[in-house]
Structure 1
């Protein structure tokens, strides 16, 4: 019905406007280090005793992916840090393209740096897309479970993606899969059934001692089917954001970059003891 289309359009505009009008902008972060992220002098408070490390997605970077969420968390008293990983030679700005196993090693080193700077014994990780899945390798194989309290994944490709079925076409184009693997190893690693994902998920999705919180959108057009993002195991919370706000039309990119309903759910995941209900009104919270 026409009125439904209008209502959905207005909702998207509201979500976007709320992100644009967030109290701290990237420019403010640059001119006011005490309000920005990657402030290496930041010390966690008693209310928020763990630093938060943001892990960008494929083709993302440590700044652009987090222009919405990083200031949102800083304004709520968190020490927030973000890294670049998965860089390829001669490819500026667009990261998360190298072998994911190697990227997990970069995350390992970065978390150590954050813990040393802040004096905290553990960190919380928040990742978008590949950034919500890649840390699981760090937790499972690189000793990260001893240094991480929680992993919050926003639209993570925990069990790979079919890209709306397009990956099923690769066998019909001889050499295509090899070319993807050589040019952009991370893309090959994220295809359903890849050797990387097979090893990551064998024996269970989770490791003891870490809380997992997955936030997905039914409108995800990149990580498909969207329910493949969800994890199984103890200490797991799986959330479909439309169950919190039926009017939320965020797709794969928007849910990680501008959706303040999702940002509120992230804050709940980081501090469950002080959680408040996530609803459509969270867009103005």
Structure 2
């Protein structure tokens, strides 16, 4: 057997193992999902009480997409894991009738508590393999992607370099450092001031996305590379990680850019609250099902905590 064949067989085995493990920890049926908290703190509480478990509504491997929602939805977390990142949106989507799947990709030295830290190419391959697994299990040709932070940026590598474009229908990115970030990703110049730091920078996915870096250029966040995909970006002017906040915007006829404060001036969400923000959640639902889009209800959204009363 050739080396390439061995790599393909190993990759398929790893993917199958991941699917089996996820099936054993699948969440209850969508109808059993509690009302989400719409707060980043809710995700933290879920990680403390049930570490390593998928968020409510996710990873029911018996779920089959319906005519109303023909594409399974793959949720891709940012720096952290799927338990924390999707504690709100996963049950919302499941209750709306979607088949929802999540995985903690890019795990490093801290284990599953902290994903999205491996090199961008490594994380992209894991994401691509997971998408293939979801498609195989659900019998779907395509998936819809919703990614937060690194989870919204890394899939562009898969589009450009791993042949993922035909497998994706809608692509929604929340607070993604699409064009690099001067925030956390800006650590790379500091790390590269020493030989040990230089080596670390090559193994740190977020560190690789300094504006203008080779990896940021390779990411090539250009909607024109996949003109059939409908891209939606959701950003906050108060984002403290994906900076400047305009890094999360795309340019192209198949891209819609949403600035939360243009919809709701009292939305003060920053980077971490973004996937739990009720305003952003409605934008995601509308992006995934534009034929049944509903008006966005403006409300006060506090950093990390979400709406004070809901």
TM category, shorter = 0.7 to 0.9
- Counterpart for residue 14 of structure 2: none
Aligned to 1:103: 123
Against the structure 1 CA distance between its residues 65 and 203, is the aligned structure 2 distance closer, same or farther, given a 3 Å change threshold? closer
How far apart are the structure 2 equivalents of 1:18 and 1:158? Answer: 25
Deviation string 1:163-191 (CA, Å, 9 cap, x unpaired) is 19965963894447515415x42022121
- Whether the 8 Å CA contact 1:205–1:231 is kept in 2: the answer is no
TM-score, scaled to structure 1: 0.81
SS of residue in 2 equivalent to 1:280: coil
1:134 lines up with 2:190 in the alignment: no
Offset of 1:19 from its aligned partner?
A: 4.4
Residue by residue over 1:57-95, the C-alpha shift from the partner in whole angstroms, topping out at 9 and shown as x without a partner, is 12x112221111101111111100001111124534111
CA RMSD of aligned residues (A): 3.1
The higher relative CO (CA closer than 8 Å, separation ≥ 6) is in 1
Give distance in 1, aligned partners of 2:122 and 2:192.
30
**SS in structure 2 at match of 1:73:** helix
Deviates more, 1:211-220 or 1:163-172: 163-172
Contact 2:266–2:299 at 8 Å: present in 1 too? no
Aligned CA distance change for structure 1 residues 254 and 119 (closer, same or farther; 3 Å): same
Asked whether the equivalents of residues 156 and 221 of structure 2 are also in contact (C-alpha less than 8 Å), the reply is no
* 1:273 alignment partner in structure 2: 291
Residue 50 of structure 1 corresponds to which residue in structure 2?
A: 71
Task: Give the count of matched residue pairs.
Answer: 261
The match for 2:247 among 208, 228, 247 is 228
Q: In 1, distance between residues paired with 2:78 and 2:235?
A: 14
Aligned residue in 2 for 1:261: 279
Could you list the runs of 5+ residues in structure 2 that have no partner in the other structure? 1-35, 301-306
Q: 1:100 to 1:164 in 2, by over 3 A?
A: closer
Looking at structure 2, the residues matched to 203 and 236 of structure 1 have their Cα atoms a distance apart, in angstroms, of 10
Residue number in structure 2 paired with 1:185: 204
Cα distance in 2 between the residues matched to 1:165 and 1:103: 16
Alignment partner of 1:41 out of 59, 62, 85: 62
Q: In structure 1, list runs of 5 or more residues that go unmatched.
A: 1-15
